[in-house]
Structure 1
Amino acid sequence: MSSNFRLKGKVTIITGGARGIGAATAKLFALNGAHVIIADILDELGTSLVESIGGRYIHCDVAKESDVESAVQLALTWKGHLDIMFNNAGIPGMDGSIANIDMDKLNRLLAVNLNGMVHGIKQAARAMIKAQSGCIICTSSSAALMGGLGSHSYTLSKEAILGLAKSAACELGMYGIRVNCISPHGIPSEMLADGYRNVLKEPEISIDDVEKRVAKVDNVLRGRNGRMADVAQAALFLASDEAGFITGHNLVVDGGFTTCFTNMRLMYQ
């Protein structure tokens, strides 16, 4: 894969960067000249990945603001500045009927998926305001755009992210800081596999199984399934100077699924 170093010298933090979409993005950012910090709770995977891309790793539970603050401080100590914050960490939720939703489980999910985003935007903003520039990207989901694509708690968290990003973009634009979202759909990953395991009560579902199920769902781009690399490329665009006049935007990476919805039940056949 060739590169024109679109992020040369940019210091980047990627939460949830040890595997899946985060890991794919970390590799692509490094290939494009970025200095990458992976902030995750998967220490072995994260450490191995940064060794291969020449970055840094820090244990970070985004539900704890002090952990996110430490990740930002690592960037400042390491390179003296923070240019890109990719708030990507998240967990799936499965809470059944709204009539029986477990509030403790809901609060645990929101602590990661929503509070974690607030922590990331807040701590990144503190560093970026001083520099009068920066880029913040948040991972949302197609579940924020259409009902029935995720659990109630997951849907709640992902739609709230869209509002948070727009609100933050309005304030932080005066400091030259851009804030955008990416909303993927049907990207085979460990997180999506976890979601299927919860829905289908089948613990042995693999990513290959998920790919086969996702392939059954019609989208505008027939014969073309989503890949983690597609989301990574979207993040690269938003992080680059090519998107320098884009803020408060939600970039949907779904192969047209939310434009041309057919039958969700096909995914579970």
Structure 2
Amino acid sequence: MTAEIPAPANVVRADRLEGVVALVTGGGNGIGAAVARRLGAGGARVVVADVDEDAAGRVAAEIGGAHVRCDVSLPADNQRAVAAAVDWYGRLDLAFLNAGVVSGCGLGDDFDLSRYRLAMGVNLDGVVFGVRAAIPALRAAGGGTIVATASMAGIVGIPNDPIYAANKHAVIGLVRSLGPELRPSGIKVQALCPSFADTAIIGDSKPLLEEMGFPILEVSAVADAFFRLLDSDGTGECWFVVPGRESEPFTFRRAPGPRV
């Protein structure tokens, strides 16, 4: 166990990372690894969690952090990852719930129940279980920040993977609902919503996207948006990240209320 670190202000800021204790799921590659590296460079103590323990270990070794194997679709693994951060560093200030997969199937003849369960388990259950695990530790630290990776597919539909769009829409609904609920506890909840980023998640689709002229986000641009998001005073926000635009919270229209 590492000696307990004096707690910073309960709101994590991009320019105040020294001593912050952060947990990053899906931190072994892609967006999670990029954010973990920047957190470590800023002086944060980072626990890199990933179902690929070797990848998590390599990133943790680069930044002088710790790592833990974590299948986010399992409640116990999320609890264990949070407990590891608290055991090693004394508390938790920031949870970046980033792990994600595509479904690889649709709702027609290509539907595959195991792929569906995997996509929902990682993309939605992983956020729900991650939030549940993180809240007590963040409250014990006097507050903190939760960031969930959603997607632009959570704001608009994507016909080529409706299951992915469904679970990302659910993550956005969760974040928007939790923001005001957790504010009194000093916990800020935000969603990061990138369009197609240059990570393993787009897989074989990358050549097709490039052929169609669809701009692909650099991972560094998504990491930039993450740190911009940290400095927001809002909560329950959904920050879009698309090529050529400065990231900011998406403005949802007010829903029509009942007429009297």
Aligned 8 A contact 2:146 2:190 in 1: yes
Pick aligned residue for 1:231 from 222, 236, 240: 222
Aligned 8 A contact 2:195 2:242 in 1: yes
1:46 matched to 2:56:
yes
Q: Deviations over 1:44-81 (max 9, x none)?
A: 22111111110001000001111111110111111111
CA distance in 2, matches of 1:232, 1:149: 27
Q: Secondary structure at the match of 1:238?
A: helix
1:28 matched to 2:38:
yes
Aligned 8 A contact 1:11 1:34 in 2: yes
Q: Deviations over 1:104-150 (max 9, x none)?
A: 43222111110110011111111112223110000001111222264
CA distance in 1, matches of 2:244, 2:173: 22
CA distance in 1, matches of 2:186, 2:26: 26
Pick aligned residue for 1:17 from 14, 27, 30: 27
Deviation of 1:88 after TM superposition, in Å, equals: 0.2
Aligned to 1:77: 87
Aligned to 2:65: 55
Aligned to 1:64: 74
CA RMSD of aligned residues (A): 2.1
The answer for unaligned runs of 5 or more in structure 1 is 197-206, 219-224, 258-269
Q: Secondary structure at the match of 2:86?
A: helix
Aligned to 1:263: none
1:193 matched to 2:203:
yes
Deviation of 1:168 after TM superposition, in Å, equals: 1.5
CA distance in 1, matches of 2:209, 2:20: 33
Aligned 8 A contact 2:152 2:194 in 1: yes
Aligned to 1:251: 239
Aligned 8 A contact 1:8 1:34 in 2: yes
CA distance in 2, matches of 1:211, 1:232: 21
Q: Which amino acid aligns with 1:152?
A: P
CA distance 1:149–1:185, change in 2 (3 Å): farther
- How many residue pairs align between the two structures? 232
Q: Which amino acid aligns with 2:189?
A: V
CA distance 1:166–1:87, change in 2 (3 Å): same
Q: Which amino acid aligns with 2:170?
A: A
The answer for unaligned runs of 5 or more in structure 2 is 1-13, 246-260
CA distance in 2, matches of 1:5, 1:181: 20
Aligned 8 A contact 1:135 1:177 in 2: yes
Q: Spell out the pairing of 1:36-185 with structure 2 (5 A cutoff).
A: 36-98=46-108, 101-148=111-158, 150-185=160-195
CA distance in 2, matches of 1:7, 1:144: 29
Q: Which amino acid aligns with 1:234?
A: A
Greater helix share, structure number: 1
Question: % of aligned pairs identical?
Answer: 32
CA distance 1:150–1:173, change in 2 (3 Å): farther
